[in-house]
């Protein structure tokens, strides 16, 4: 299909940036009306650059969700930081996200500095206002507006959708003119296998705590289309035997629960019945192992 190309059509890359856990992926899923990025209360849920495409009559927005800007402690962390930094440099417009429940943190301030440095048009989303008392918001909005980095500082809730149309309208206004690059049906750059892996990882993140979520990777061993069911085999990698015991749970109870919720999510994703076989394997230090990282797709800094 020829890209639609008219003087009035707008398109561009919109980078979603901010420290971990402020709601970047939730915001992306909300604007797309569909889950392309997994979310959880655990920091560093997002590891890849994730593209989400919103196609409208008058514009196509290519959102780039990013891993949170944080101090890296291993090779995977460095890769994640590189992804986030590259998006800040490459996007046409930035949506900077902060958590409106809290005061600005040092990490927020460092993100502001990076955004200022790029000189990209940027709007600020003060997220999670569904759980913030309005009077408490005003000083924070004032403080952010006073930086003069953002064309707009908009309180939103990515969870309830409050004020999200306003945010979207402001972003649209900053988009350059350009062609429609993607077919309207195409919503993300992730393959089905990647989405399957991410959906399973999300359930492990939601079911575990402390250091375990960070130690998890999910490798899809097989996806087989059978007559009435899609059969999926996947291995959950952890770093230590103790973490394996946690993920499996007493008598296998937790792994069973993870598998059962993940299977329902996958059935919704694929629109088919799913059989899901899950294994847990210990791979010591995989987050610093280049070979394993490559196998898991966390390789290169520009993909
Ligand atoms: P990311 O690390 O910035 O991508 O953050 P996520 O999108 O994974 O969200 C982190 C946590 O914050 C999840 O538990 C979300 O459900 C929650 N969250 C995100 N947006 C909102 C919001 O607008 N309101 C509330 N109450 N929670 C939110
Ligand atoms: Mg995320």
Tens of pLDDT, residues 210-227: 889 999 999 999 999 999
Ligand 1 centroid, distance to 41 Cα (angstroms): 7
> Which of residues 174, 202, 219 is at a domain's end?
174
- Tell me, yes or no, whether 143 and 19 share the same domain: yes
Ligand 1 centroid, distance to 128 Cα (angstroms): 7
pLDDT, residue 302, reads 36
pLDDT, residue 127, reads 98
Domain that holds residue 160: 10-174
- Tell me, yes or no, whether 105 and 163 share the same domain: yes
Instruction: List the residue whose alpha carbon is closest to atom 22 of ligand 1.
Output: 128
Residue 239 makes CB contacts below 8 A (sequence gap 6+) with: 215, 282, 283, 284, 285, 286, 287
Ligand 1 centroid, distance to 238 Cα (angstroms): 25
- Tell me, yes or no, whether 133 and 214 share the same domain: no
- Tell me, yes or no, whether 196 and 64 share the same domain: no
CATH number of residue 269's parent domain: 3.30.300.20
pLDDT, residue 147, reads 97
Ligand 1 centroid, distance to 162 Cα (angstroms): 14
Instruction: Specify if 62 maps to a domain.
Output: yes
Return the H-helix or E-strand segment holding 51. Answer: strand 50-55
Ligand 1 within 6 A of CB of 22 = yes
Closest ligand 1 atom to Cα of 21: 2
Ligand 1 within 6 A of CB of 26 = yes
Please list the residues that pair with 232 across neighbouring strands.
223, 276
Instruction: Specify if 302 maps to a domain.
Output: no
- Tell me, yes or no, whether 24 and 98 share the same domain: yes
- In this structure, what are the phi and psi dihedrals at residue 139, rounded to the nearest 5 degrees? -60, -35
- Tell me, yes or no, whether 151 and 18 share the same domain: yes
Residue 135 makes CB contacts below 8 A (sequence gap 6+) with: none
Instruction: Specify if 5 maps to a domain.
Output: no
* Cα separation, 87 vs 49, whole angstroms: 8
- Is the CB of residue 59 less than 8 Å from the CB of residue 5? no
* The token pair that represents 33 in the structure block: 């009306």
pTM: 0.91
Q: pLDDT of 85-124, one tens digit each?
A: 888 888 999 999 999 999 999 999 999 999 999 999 999 9
* Cα separation, 133 vs 280, whole angstroms: 43
- Tell me, yes or no, whether 264 and 121 share the same domain: no
* Cα separation, 230 vs 237, whole angstroms: 22
pLDDT, residue 303, reads 37
CATH number of residue 111's parent domain: 3.40.50.300
- Tell me, yes or no, whether 138 and 210 share the same domain: no
- Domains of the chain: total: 2
User: Which residues fall inside 5 Å of ion ligand 2, going by CB?
Assistant: 24-25, 45-46
pLDDT, residue 294, reads 87
pLDDT, residue 300, reads 54
- Tell me, yes or no, whether 148 and 196 share the same domain: no
* Alpha-helical runs (H) found in 211-302: 241-248, 253-270, 290-295
pLDDT, residue 154, reads 98
Low-confidence ranges of the chain (pLDDT < 70): 1-6, 299-303
């Amino acid at each position: 299909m020829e890209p639609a190309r008219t003087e009035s059509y707008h398109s561009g890359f919109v980078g979603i940036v901010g420290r971990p856990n402020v709601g970047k992926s939730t915001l992306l899923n909300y604007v797309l009306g569909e889950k392309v990025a997994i979310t959880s209360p655990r920091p560093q849920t997002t590891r890849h650059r994730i593209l989400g495409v919103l196609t409208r009559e008058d514009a196509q927005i290519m959102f780039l969700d990013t891993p949170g800007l944080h101090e890296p402690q291993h090779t995977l962390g460095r890769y994640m930081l590189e992804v986030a930094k590259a998006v800040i440099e490459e996007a046409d417009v930035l949506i900077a996200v902060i958590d409106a429940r809290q005061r600005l943190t040092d990490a927020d301030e460092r993100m502001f500095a990076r955004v200022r440095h790029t000189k990209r048009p940027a709007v600020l989303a003060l997220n999670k206002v569904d759980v913030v008392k309005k009077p408490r918001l005003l000083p924070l909005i004032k403080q952010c507006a006073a930086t003069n980095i953002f064309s707009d500082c908009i309180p939103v809730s990515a969870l309830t959708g409050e004020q999200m149309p306003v945010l979207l309208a402001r972003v649209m206004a900053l988009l350059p003119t350009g062609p429609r690059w993607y077919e309207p049906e195409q919503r993300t750059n992730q393959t089905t296998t990647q989405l399957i892996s991410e959906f399973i990882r999300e359930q492990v993140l939601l079911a575990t705590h402390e250091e375990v979520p960070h130690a998890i990777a999910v490798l899809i061993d097989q996806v087989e289309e059978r007559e009435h069911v899609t059969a999926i085999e996947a291995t959950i990698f952890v770093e230590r035997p103790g973490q394996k015991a946690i993920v499996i749970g007493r008598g296998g109870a937790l792994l069973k629960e993870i598998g059962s919720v993940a299977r329902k999510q996958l059935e919704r994703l694929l629109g088919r019945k799913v059989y899901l076989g899950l294994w847990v394997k210990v791979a010591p230090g995989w987050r610093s192992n280049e070979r394993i990282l490559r196998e898991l797709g966390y390789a290169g800094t520009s993909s």
